[in-house]
Structure formats: structure tokens, C-alpha cells
A and B are shown apart, each in its own frame.
Chain A
Amino acid sequence: NAGVTQTPKFQVLKTGQSMTLQCAQDMNHEYMSWYRQDPGMGLRLIHYSVGAGITDQGEVPNGYNVSRSTTEDFPLRLLSAAPSQTSVYFCASSLIPGEQYFGPGTRLTVT
């Protein structure tokens, strides 16, 4: 049982490039979400999904796309990277309220 995995751990992009952050969980959790963490702040919700085929926006969705074709995977796409998207990104999953499991995070730098 690997829990929540994220790849890559680190990534450097140039402004305007696109990329996909991968998130996978093997716990058969319906709920998955993406957060970003900026220095000196708590996490902020980008997008979330309550099951395969269902996604919705969180607090800071601009510049990001998501899809949920399977229960296990929830990739986050940066369409055209900007320096303001430099952050640490966390993926989380949950089966029931009050139990969220976090991945190890991806540190993204956009130059």
C-alpha cells in the first residue's frame, strides 16, 4: 500500500512551458484534491474531485486544469507556467470525512 504518491519531487520550468504533476493513490479513495503552499501561508485548494469523471474548482484554480478518468489518478496540468505558480504542490485523498492523506509534495520553480 503506497498511499498517495506524487511525481516529480522537483521541477524547474521556464515561463510559458506546460507540464503535468502526477498524483496517484492506491486506497480506492473517492475524494482527491490539489493544494498549493506558498511561503508563510497555509495550503490553498486548487481543484478537487469527488469521484471519477467529477471535478470542481477550489479557491485558486486559475492557470490549472484537472481531470479524473480513474479513481486512482488525479493529474494537475499547468497550461502556461508563470512565476506566480512557483510553489509547493500537495495532492491529498480521502475516503471518509476527517481522514485526509497527503502526498510528499512537488516543489515547482518557474523562472
Chain B
Amino acid sequence: AQTVTQSQPEMSVQEAETVTLSCTYDTSESNYYLFWYKQPPSRQMILVIRQEAYKQQNATENRFSVNFQKAAKSFSLKISDSQLGDTAMYFCALEDSNYQLIWGAGTKLIIKP
């Protein structure tokens, strides 16, 4: 069975600091996608960043970057220069070959002013 694990239920950092959220996963598939989604209090699911498993280069989107370690099945999210608007729940998810998403339990991130 495929699983996604987020071991940090909650994190908090000061504004402008860098924070890293952890995610590990397990899958037997050779090609898959990994995602980080942000869910603010509005509960809308917002795609933050996406990584294709066959690409060795780590994905980057502005202040957001990932550290993808395929052999270790690790997919962490780094947020640089954190902003108050980054406060939200963050979910790690794995998409299998059937388009199905398997989700972690989420990390609540609080950015303090």
C-alpha cells in the first residue's frame, strides 16, 4: 500500500525565517508525482509545488523549493523568507499511475510577526 507520512503536526517560525517541512512516502511505482498543497483557513486547496519522480532536479517556485531524495523516499518543502500569508496547513501528497492522490495528515505552519 502507498503511504505518505508527515511527522510534524505543527511548526512555527518568525517572519522572514526559513522553514522546512518534512514528508516521507512509500510506493512501489517507478513513476509518480509528489505535491505540496497549502490549505489556508478558507479551506481552498492551493498547489504550492510539484515534482515528477523521474526528474532528478529539485522543483522550485519562487520562495518554495523541495529537497527530493528518491532513494530515501523523502520530499521536504523549504519556504524561504517566510511571510505572514504562508500561515496555513500544508499537505504532502503522492499521485499514483491511476491519478489517485494519497495524502499525509498535514503540518500546521504558523508564521509569527
Chain A contacts to B: CB under 8 angstroms: 31, 33, 35, 40-45, 48, 50, 58, 88, 90, 92, 94, 97-100, 102, 104-105, 107
Contacts and interface: CB of A to CB of B under 8 A. Distances in A.
B103 interface: yes
B103 A40 contact: no
A58 B47 CA distance: 22
A64 B17 CA distance: 44
Given A42-B93, A90-B45, A104-B44, A98 B101 contact: no
Contacts of B52: 98
Contacts of B106: 40-42
Contact of B100 (A40, A42, A45, A107): A45
Given A41-B105, A97-B99, A105 B43 contact: yes
Contacts of B104: 42
A48 B103 CA distance: 16
A102 B99 contact: no
Contacts of B44: 102, 104-105
Interface residue tally of chain B, by bracket? 20 to 34
Given A100-B95, A104-B43, 19 more contacts: A33-B100, A41-B105, A42-B105, A42-B106, A43-B103, A45-B100, A45-B101, A48-B100, A58-B100, A88-B43, A92-B101, A94-B99, A97-B97, A97-B99, A98-B33, A98-B50, A100-B47, A104-B44, A105-B44
Q: Which 4 A-B pairs rank lowest in CB-CB distance, beginning with the nearest?
A: A42-B103, A102-B45, A98-B33, A43-B103
B43 A100 contact: no
A100 B101 contact: yes
A45 B52 CA distance: 21
B97 to A, nearest CB: 8
**Is chain A's interface secondary structure helix, strand, loop, or mixed overall?**
strand
B101 A97 contact: no
B4 interface: yes
A43 B101 contact: yes
Interface in B75-108: 91, 93, 95, 97, 99-101, 103-106
8 contacts: A41-B106, A43-B93, A48-B100, A98-B95, A99-B50, A100-B47, A102-B45, A105-B45
